[in-house]
Amino acid sequence: MRGVFGSKGFSGPLTSRLGLLIRRCDIAVILVPVALMQLIFLYLEFYGGVPPGGFKACRHTPCVQKIPKIIHQTYKTQDVPPNWAKTPGAWKEKHPDWEYMFWTDEKNRKLIEEHYNWFLGTYDGYPYGIQRSDAARYFILNHYGGVYADLDIQPLRSVTEIIGDAELVLPQTPNFGLTNAFMASTKGNPFMKYVTEILPNHANRWYQVVRHWHIMTSAGPTFLWAQYEGWTGDKSNTLIVPAGYWGKCSICKAHCRDLSTSPLHHLTGNSWFAIDSFIFNYVIMCNPLPLAVCILFLVDLYRSGRLTFQKMNKHVAEKAFSKSNNTTFAAKWALFFVLAGVVYYLKQMP
Q: What is the pLDDT of residue 300?
A: 76
Q: What is the pLDDT of residue 4?
A: 39
Mean per-residue pLDDT for 195-216? Answer: 89
Give the chain's mean pLDDT.
80
- CB burial readout 41-60, b (16+ within 10 A) else e: bbebbeebbeeeeebebbee
Give the whole-number percent of the chain exceeding pLDDT 90: 43
Q: Report the run of H or E that residue 15 belongs to, with start and end.
A: helix 12-24
d(CA 225, CA 211): 19
Mean per-residue pLDDT for 36-43? Answer: 70
Whether residue 235 has pLDDT greater than 90: yes
Q: How far is CA 143 from CA 148, 254, 315, in A?
A: 12, 37, 78
Q: What is the pLDDT of residue 9?
A: 47
Q: What is the pLDDT of residue 66?
A: 96
DSSP 213-250: HHHHHHTSHHHHHHHHHH--S--TTEEEEPGGGTTPPP
More confident residue, 10 or 195: 195
CA 66 from centroid of its chain's CA atoms:
29
pLDDT tens for 251-297 read 666 555 545 668 888 886 555 555 665 666 666 667 777 777 777 77
Q: How far is CA 306 from CA 67, 200, 242, 309, 350, in A?
A: 65, 53, 48, 9, 39
Q: What is the pLDDT of residue 112?
A: 98
d(CA 89, CA 99): 12
Q: What is the pLDDT of residue 253?
A: 62
Whether residue 238 has pLDDT greater than 90: yes
**Residue 311's pLDDT band (boundaries 50, 70, 90)?**
low
Q: What is the pLDDT of residue 338?
A: 81
d(CA 281, CA 290): 14
Q: Which of 236-240, 325-329, 334-338 has the lowest mean pLDDT?
A: 325-329
What is the β-pairing status of strands 146-149 and 182-185? Answer: antiparallel
Q: Which of 66-80, 234-248, 265-279, 309-323 has the lowest mean pLDDT?
A: 309-323
Q: What is the pLDDT of residue 6?
A: 44
d(CA 243, CA 261): 11
Contact 146, 71 (CB under 8 A): yes
d(CA 343, CA 264): 28
**Residue 155's pLDDT band (boundaries 50, 70, 90)?**
very high
Strand runs labelled E in the chain: 70-74, 99-103, 146-149, 153-155, 168-171, 182-185, 238-241, 264-266
pLDDT tens for 121-139 read 999 999 999 999 999 999 9
pLDDT tens for 48-81 read 554 545 578 888 888 899 999 999 999 999 999 9
CA 168 from centroid of its chain's CA atoms:
21
Give whichever of 196-200, 212-216, 232-236, 238-242 has the largest mean pLDDT: 196-200
N- to C-terminal Cα distance for the chain?
51
Q: Which of 18-27, 145-154, 270-279 has the lowest mean pLDDT?
A: 18-27
Contact 198, 122 (CB under 8 A): no
Sheet holding 146-149, edge to edge: 99-103, 70-74, 146-149, 182-185, 168-171, 238-241
pLDDT tens for 84-131 read 999 999 999 999 999 999 999 999 999 999 999 999 999 999 999 999
